[in-house]
Structure 1
Amino acid sequence: MLATRITNLLASFKPITVEAHCDTADGPAVTSGRKALDTGNINYALKWIPADGEAELREVFDKAIEVRTLGTDAADLSDRLFLETLVRIHRMGEGVAFTGIQAPGTEVDPVVTAADEAIRLGTDAALLPMVPTDRRAELDKRFLAAMEVKDFDVDDVVAGRRYLAAYVDFFKYAEGEDHDHAHHAAHAHQH
């Protein structure tokens, strides 16, 4: 079947390096994208992209939802196209090239893993010792800013994008990037 061959061909393309944890099949962007597909609510994914990418993602989402009903191979292919489109638009909004979605289990920087845990648990206590002492106060400030806007209604896309801007700012600083990524992300994600 053509869909099976296309799916297998697409699966054979694997970039060599991980650019960010949002590029991984286990990462938060793909997880949100899968939730959007499973629930039929694109708003789970829209927070990850700038407003100017929304029309493209909505078009792919609507087609993916429709094609998913045609069988397992069609669902796999349509899901992959949607998730790759989501991550590509997200990365473009950050000004970074899309290199593909990395396989499940792809190794992620321990600081990024600890930052994910901090957001999940609501405390950055385990993360702070992993960064240089002179960066801890600013990292904690960015963590608290992300936590302050973390809980939002999934259907409030503007609030979701506000959270994502703070989230990305926190992660980029944790990874050692000093520029004001929140300003860039907020500008890229504004409605």
Structure 2
Amino acid sequence: MEGEDEVKNAFTQALNVYNNGNEDAKKLAEYWFFETVVRIHREGEGASYTGLKPAGLDPGPMIPKVDKALEDGDISEVTKYLQDAVAEEITEHFKHVMHSKDYDVDDVPSARKHINAYLHLTLYSHHLYHFIKNPVLHEKQDEH
């Protein structure tokens, strides 16, 4: 498994520091080890490492919905929720473009507002599509 050797080496190093250090060294060893594991995990997902997050952060609605779907054996609530969320966001971006499209060509701030709205809609849609179809994520999934 990719990253496994690095995690094992990090664990060995952190354990050595933890067992031979004072309280500050122990805290540092724990923190460094967890950072290493999360960084490797994020790399495996094709995502950048953005640091450790504090415990208790709201994970949002998707994790409980996926867990419930797995318990129930029915993914339809998850797909419906995601479809609705995507439709809502794209519709909002679309409304901004449509609202700003009839600008006076001599009004530079209005033209900028329209181009900005257009770019938000286009790039949001583009990035969302590429995230969904990301071959790196699919390759990682196929390994499991």
Q: Hey, what's the Cα distance between the residues in 2 that align with 1:181 and 1:122? A: 29
Provide the secondary structure at the position in 1 that maps to 2:9. helix
Q: Could you tell me how far 1:99 is from its partner in structure 2?
A: 0.6
Query: Which of 6, 10, 14 is the equivalent residue of 1:64?
Result: 14
Aligned residues: 97
Contact 2:46 2:136 in 1 (8 A): no
CA deviation map 1:40-98 (0-9, x unaligned) = xxxxxxxxxx52x2222211111112222234433321111111111111211222110
RMSD: 3.3
SS at match of 1:106: coil
Q: Report the secondary structure of 1:96's partner residue.
A: coil
Larger radius of gyration: 2
Q: Take 1:71 and 1:94, find their aligned partners in 2: how far apart are those partners?
A: 35
Query: Scaled by the length of structure 1, what TM-score is found?
Result: 0.40
Counterpart Cα distance in 2 of 1:101 and 1:86: 10
Residues 35 and 51 in structure 2, CA contact (< 8 A), matched pair in contact too: yes
Q: Aligned equivalents of 2:25 and 2:40: distance in 1?
A: 22
More contact order relative to length (CA 8 Å, sep ≥ 6): 1
SS at match of 2:132: coil
| 1:94–1:184 contact (8 Å) kept in structure 2 | no
C-alpha distance 72-92 of structure 1, shift in aligned 2 (>3 A): same
TM-score by length of 2: 0.50
- 1:178 paired with 2:132, answer yes
The equivalent position to 2:58 in structure 1, one of 94, 103, 107, is 107
CA distance in 2, matches of 1:117, 1:75: 38
Q: Provide Cα deviations, 1:28-49, integer angstroms capped at 9, x if missing partner.
A: xxxxxxxxxxxxxxxxxxxxxx
The residue matched to 1:131 in structure 2 has which SS?
Answer: helix
Q: What is the alpha-carbon distance in structure 2 between the residues aligned to residue 94 and residue 130 of structure 1?
A: 23
Separation in 1 of the partners of 2:37 and 2:66? Answer: 22
